Amino acid sequence: MRRYFFLIMYLFSSAVALSQEGLAWYESSASREALRAHPYFNVAGPVLLQRQMIVHDPDNKDLVFYAMVALVLSYAIIQRAFPKYMQDLFRLFFRTTLKQRHLSEQLSQTPLPSFLLNVFFFMLAGFYLSLWIEQTAHNPFADFWTLFGYLLLAVAAAYLTKYSILRLTGWLFRAKEAANSYLFTVFTINKMTGIFLLPLVVVMAFAIPSVFAITLLLSWIVLIALLLYRLLLSFRVVRKEVQLSGFHFLLYVAGFEIAPLLIIYKAILLNFG
């Protein structure tokens, strides 16, 4: 034990002696001049900041995360609470059965899951537009949630106005069955649109700009495909109820479907671009 103690003391005294010799060497004029003239040490020169430190300040997306969890959970609850309705909805959308009129009647007689899926679609549409404007345009409001609230109200008001106009048109021209069939087709496609947009909106909420651009392009492809599919189904459904030519249906599509979308897109560019 004593031997190890003396060894440690010897090493400590040697280190002190070396440090004192190094300090004496540095204090000598020759050593100072050598360090001053050295091209790498720059002892006598000013302090230079070679690289600026960048502190990462991430965006606080806790509320957006909880909102995405709530959306996924709400869809799971609807799926588990109304399995028969969801099964019939998918069968009707993909046309996997010949009993389409029977399925339409069954779906029309279950208003609660239909109402919940319509609300789900409004929420998804509000989030989709809000994320799109927040990422690619200018948000004129103080925060994300104010923008989301206004867009949610705008989407709901647009579809309620469309619903009211179609109901009134069907009553005026004595084509209630055609109006009801068309509205049923429109809101059925809207329900499926909300389901298809759910994973894309979740990715858009937390994606980096490059992934966001790819997801946004994919969402446009999905929405255009669903819009064309809805127009095809609507024409087939309405044509069974009233005498309607393809030209008159194209006029209706241009004035009542395409024009409002272009107006909304132009309004977004003018107010948020």
Q: For 233-266, how does the pLDDT look when each residue is reduced to its tens digit (9 = 90+)?
A: 877 777 776 666 666 777 767 766 677 667 766 7
pTM for this structure?
Answer: 0.72
143 in a structural domain? yes
The answer, yes or no, to whether residue 78 has pLDDT greater than 60, is yes
193 in a structural domain? yes
Split at pLDDT 50, 70, 90, the class of 212 is very high
- Length of the chain equals 273
Q: Return d(Cα 268, Cα 273) in angstroms, integer.
A: 7
For 177, 200, 211, 235, the CA distances from 242, given in Å and listed in that order, are: 9, 38, 46, 10
238 in a structural domain? yes
Q: What is the DSSP letter of 55?
A: -
214 in a structural domain? yes
What are the tens digits of pLDDT across the range 146-177?
989 988 998 888 888 888 888 888 888 777 88
238 sits in which H/E element: helix 209-241
**257 vs 222: which has the higher pLDDT:** 222
- Tell the residue number behind the tokens 């619903």, with chain if given: 163
HSE at residue 31, side-chain half, CA atoms within 13 A, is 8
- Tell the residue number behind the tokens 């867009």, with chain if given: 151
Q: Return d(Cα 43, Cα 203) in angstroms, integer.
A: 53
Q: Return d(Cα 245, Cα 232) in angstroms, integer.
A: 13
Contact 272, 137 (CB under 8 A): yes
Split at pLDDT 50, 70, 90, the class of 9 is low
The answer, yes or no, to whether residue 67 has pLDDT greater than 90, is yes
Residue type, 188: T
| pLDDT at residue 198, rounded to an integer | 95
Report how many domains make up the chain: 1
Look up the domain containing 253 and give its range: 62-272
What CA dihedral angle connects 106, 108, 109 and 115, to 10 degrees?
130
The answer, yes or no, to whether residue 16 has pLDDT greater than 50, is no
- Tell the residue number behind the tokens 């947009």, with chain if given: 197
Lowest mean pLDDT among 6-15, 67-76, 137-146: 6-15
39 in a structural domain? no
Residues of the chain with pLDDT > 90, as a percent, come to 29
* Residue 208: both structure tokens together: 């980096």
122 in a structural domain? yes
Split at pLDDT 50, 70, 90, the class of 10 is very low
119 sits in which H/E element: helix 111-136
12 in a structural domain? no
Lowest mean pLDDT among 14-28, 38-52, 107-121: 14-28
Q: Return d(Cα 263, Cα 269) in angstroms, integer.
A: 10
- Per-residue pLDDT averaged across 220-242, rounded? 82
What are the tens digits of pLDDT across the range 179-203?
888 888 888 999 999 999 999 999 9
- Per-residue pLDDT averaged across 71-76, rounded? 95
